[in-house]
Amino acid sequence: MRSSVRRTAVGVFAATIVVGGFGLAGAPASAASAAAAVPQAVPPQAALPDAAVAQTAPPGSPSSPTSPGATPLGPTVAVPGTPPIPAEVNAGAFVLADQATGAVLAERAPHQKLRPASTLKILTALALLPRLDPAAVHVAVPEDIADFGKNEPGGSAVGVKPGLSYRVSDLWNGVFLRSGNDAVATLARMAGGVPATVDLMRQTAQLLHADDTTIVNADGYDADGQLSSAYDLALMARAGLQDPGFRAYCSLQRAQFPSVNGTTYEIDNENHLLGKYQGMIGVKNGYTSLAHHTFVGAATRNGRTLVVSVFDAGTDIYQQTAKLLDWGFAVPAGGPGVEQLTPPGPLPHSPAPDETLPPPGAVHTSGPGAAGAVPASASAPGAAGSPLPSQAAAAPHKSGGSLMGDVFETLLYVVLVLVLAVVALRARVLWKLRKADDDDSAPE
């Protein structure tokens, strides 16, 4: 009997250790899942590359005309006397242009109207950046993101939480780095609401001569009739690079995003070429299940900047973009292009944010017309005036908190629980062994 109990005890203890080992091995995933359920964690959507969150197609949405990156939507046209475009560049449409001169070096289906996905946020930024003071602080309320949660299932989010305070610059970081539709919704409400923002975007598109573009919402989420083109997005990026605020946000590789209890967590830019491709400035990536992968970017070499816009591509969109840029930088500068980017009309510019400053100290306000919102009289594109000073504030965000810190802390709790469980089980086994010894020694 004693040997049987001892074998059972050894088996139970070994099984406990094995289970504990699997638990420890799986702890990071479990901790990450737990972290995603609390405000400190970056939501699952924001953790995916390229804001790659599959959207549920809106009712009645037409399917995309091609499979991702499989079929070019038109012939490729390049500056005469240049080598052919690399065969690996099989995106549906693209435009590659010189930032300074506007000369288009190569293009494919440049005016084909396609779903832009989150690259449409470039236009959102051009419309709203000059109208919101980057230092203004907004206290988020449920109404800021109510429509986003209801109308955009599966939409990408950075993790805006009602009750927390955000600088306008924090929200723009959430837009440019993590493609947060919740951040767009909050900024739009600060500027007067989504309908007013969409109207401003339409006015801005007219000033840019982006005639292929129709806007339905403020963030690029798939919607019937919301279309743009590689040419129009190149126009938008070219204009954005001339704006100090836009350029600062689109080139930022990482930032701290506000969380609960005055902490922050780190968000990284989803642009896979930023910091890896020589001279990459940045701009904006996008993805939806209907648009496929889209990307608009810019890079500088030897004092020359090229703008590239790629639509309807597969998962290798960054490799395709890099090959296009390599090809473009090999083309001699100063020559005529196959087409010319239309110069934009006068657009107001925005200041570059100071990421080192804590939120200013002032009185809390929120909702439409809150901190940083420019009066309606100054809301038309090209209107004179500078951003309003901050009219809201909160406690400074505590730096240093991050998603990895949250995961590590959760992992420690998991390890502690496992250790306590092993100790308790071992004590129970030892008690059974002692009881068995007593039974064996008892007189028969």
CB atoms within 10 A of CB 272: 18
| Burial class, 379, CB count within 10 angstroms (exposed 0-12 / middle 13-18 / buried 19+) | buried
**Is 323 among the catalytic positions?**
no
Return the SS3 of 90: coil
Which residue type is seen at 441? Answer: S
Q: Is 165 a catalytic residue?
A: no
Q: Where are the alpha helices (DSSP H) in 95-253?
A: 121-128, 142-151, 168-178, 181-190, 194-208, 230-240, 244-250
Using CA atoms, how far apart are residues 140 and 168, in angstroms rounded to an integer?
Answer: 11
Assigned token pair, 329: 């930088």
Residue 309 · residue 320 · CB < 8 Å: no
- For residues 78 and 244, the answer to whether their CB atoms sit within 8 Å is no
With 0-12 CB in 10 A as exposed, 13-18 as middle and 19+ as buried, what is 42?
Answer: buried
What three-state secondary structure class fits 4? helix
Q: Which residue in 61, 118, 156, 228 is the catalytic one?
A: 118
Choose the catalytic residue: 61, 156, 169, 179.
Answer: 179
Is there a catalytic annotation at residue 228? no
* Whole-number Å distance between alpha carbons of 359 and 398: 11
Catalytic: which of 61, 121, 259, 366?
A: 121
| Catalytic sites, residue numbers | 118, 121, 179
